[in-house]
Amino acid sequence: MVARATLKPRRRAVRAVEKTRHSVSPSLIALASRLAFSRPAKVAYVTAGAVGLAALAVALIGPKRLEQDVLKPLRSAIEPQAEKLWADSQGLREQIAGVFHSASPAGREKLARNFQSWIGHFRAT
């Protein structure tokens, strides 16, 4: 028989306990990246950039000079054309209002969807 002193106990090596890391789940990262690169987020980035550039322009050249050199000439160039277009569309606006007024409530909803589709078609082209 073999003496007990010669037998070595079979023990696992003791390792230091590693710190547990609380990592962010991949689904949360994917969700955050989807939100950051979504269309509404991009619109918000562009809007914030445009507002920032406008604020920088006002800060650099001053509000009075901005109005005199940029806004007044722009307004005087655009207003007459806008007023003319508004006046020219008076008949068409009255016709459309009459169609909506004479339609039933269900018909109004259908007309609204058709007009939205029609306007969307022209915006896309």
Give the N- to C-terminal CA distance of the chain in Å, as an integer: 97
Q: How open is the CA angle 42-34-116, to the nearest 5 degrees?
A: 55
Residue 4 has pLDDT above 60, yes or no: no
Q: Which of 40-44, 86-90, 116-120 is the least confident region?
A: 116-120
What pLDDT does 115 receive?
A: 86
Instruction: Write down the residue that tokens 């806004």 correspond to.
Output: 71
This prediction has a pTM of: 0.41
Mean pLDDT (whole number) for 94-101: 90
CA atoms within 13 Å, Cβ hemisphere of 8: 3
Instruction: Kindly give the residue spans of alpha helices, DSSP state H, lying in the chain.
Output: 26-36, 39-61, 63-66, 72-88, 90-102, 105-124
User: What are the CA-CA distances from residue 16 to residues 13, 20, 21, 52, 92 (Å)?
Assistant: 10, 12, 15, 53, 82
pLDDT-derived band at 105 (thresholds 50, 70, 90) equals confident
